[in-house]
Amino acid sequence: MESVDGFGPEKIIQLYDPLTGMQGVVVIDNTALGPGKGGIRMTSTVGINEVKRLARAMTWKTSLHGLPFGGAKSGIVANPKAMSQKKKAQIVKSFAKAISTISPSEYVAAPDISMAEEEMRIIAGVNGKKSVTGKPSDMGGIPHELGSTGWGVFHSARVAARRIGLSLKGATVAIEGFGNVGLFAAKFLCEAGAKLVAASDSHGMIYSPKGLDYEKLAETKRKERTVTRYKPGRIMPSDAMPGLDVDIIVPAAVPDFITVRDLKHIKAKLIVEGSNIPMTAAMERLLWKKGITVVPDFVANGGGVISSYVEYTGGTPKQMFKIVREKESKNTLKVLKSAEKENITPREAAMDMAKARILRASRTSY
């Protein structure tokens, strides 16, 4: 099997239901620390390789943040925009039934792209409340729509900015992906005094060096379903964002958003990865050589899985916000200090920490 190492993946399961047309894949990457934890995404292009990469990111993320979970991820191959809510519910229910033998013993699911609290309600109804987090509050859940991941990204950015001598007050920020993660990251950064100058979604990017009003932008996104209807501002392609003259970039949507072609154009001092795998480790190293600090995905965007842990253990939203703040702040600082001391990239420092915890757990299990 390709791309197998001493950490995983332990299982790759392909799913198909001819009655509903549901096609899916689950990757259980590593369970040394506990059941595999990871969201379910529904897109028309999701495949094994993407899910494997995301499951591995979850392995590192749960370990780095000291959670009793392993790493996993799953995907449903479908276009939710091209189906009714009834059809989507049927597919989600079919998926839940298909994973019933491994959930929650080996896999604890959560929301991801095009999956939210109501889909988690369906899965919990099939496999039990412990099989999924991000459930509606009336089921004892802590919905991801409260902004846990964006809250964590903000605190990671706050600590990283301070570490490199950048004041958040007045710092210019560009947010790629004005969805659940990017919207809340923007909100908290603006409340801390940062200046939001660019935001993007699947329709394009809105840019204004004079600044975007967060509340107005959020209202535009809600009503018009795209940030590009915001005025005043310049509409640009989303892939122009890495070259903007800003202090901080927060990728918060698609994988592989920043590539080698962007290297010579990037002016930002700090990149905080709100999305999973927005660039390769090789690209992060090239940016590190240029003196640009990149806080890796599994460090910066741990708020979602930390929130899941709080829900899993019966905690409250208030406790969630406190624990996400504490863990994100502590672990971001720890990673950046280690990277500076060892003269390695933040990702390499974080990987060393995550691997060490998994290896210790693996040794004690034999």
Q: Which residues are catalytic?
A: 73
* Euclidean distance between CA atoms 300 and 294, whole angstroms: 10
Rounded distance, CA 229 to CA 53, Å? 34
Using DSSP's 3-state secondary structure scheme, residue 239 falls into helix
H/E element holding 328? helix 317-342
C-alpha triplet 350, 354, 355: angle, nearest 5°: 115
Q: What DSSP assignment string belongs to 136-196?
A: -GGGT---GGG-HHHHHHHHHHHHHHHHTT--STT-EEEEE--SHHHHHHHHHHHHTT-EE
Q: Which residues contact 302 (CB under 8 A, 6 or more apart)?
A: 61, 64, 65, 152, 324, 327, 328, 331
Judge residue 95's burial from the number of C-beta atoms within 10 Å of its C-beta, 0-12 exposed, 13-18 middle, 19 or more buried: buried
Residues 6+ apart with CB under 8 A from 126: 93, 96, 97, 100
Residues facing residue 127 across a β-bridge? none
Alpha carbons 123 and 77: distance in angstroms, whole number: 17
Helix (H) or strand (E) holding 295: strand 293-295
Q: Report how far apart the first and last C-alpha atoms of the chain are (Å, whole number).
A: 25
Closest CA to 219 of 209, 206, 230: 230
